[in-house]
Amino acid sequence: MPSPGAQLAAWSVMARWRAHAGHGIVFAQVRATPETLAQRIAALRRDASERRGSLVITELPSALVGAVDPWGAVAALKLMQSLKQRFDPNGILNPGRFVGGI
């Protein structure tokens, strides 16, 4: 399985990386058309998941806002939803801004 960097290079997508070995977080800035970027995000998420990681999007082109989930799949979503309900039953703290719309 190629590394995400090798995969982006094979796709001819521009990317800049910054990685932190201490906590394992890699920050990448990827430049591509919105359609290409949406496809690449899906592929990179699959690769990250296979490596027991995840991919969180911090910035998206306006054309992809609402079309691409910035958080991706989260295994603990049910637990997070129950905690949100318990500690914020009225849903007033940043409604809809976190994983799964919580």
Query: Residue ranges per domain, the chain?
Result: 1-70, 73-102
CB-CB neighbours of 10 under 10 Å: 9
- Maximal CA-CA distance, the chain: 48
pLDDT of 89 > 80? The answer is: yes
- Averaged over 45-73, what is the pLDDT? 87
**What pLDDT is attached to residue 82?**
96
Whether the CB-CB separation of 7 and 47 falls below 8 Å is answered with yes
**What pLDDT is attached to residue 84?**
95
Query: What is this structure's pTM?
Result: 0.70
- Distance CA(24)–CA(27), nearest Å, equals 10
Torsion of CA 87, 59, 23, 51, to 10 degrees: 100
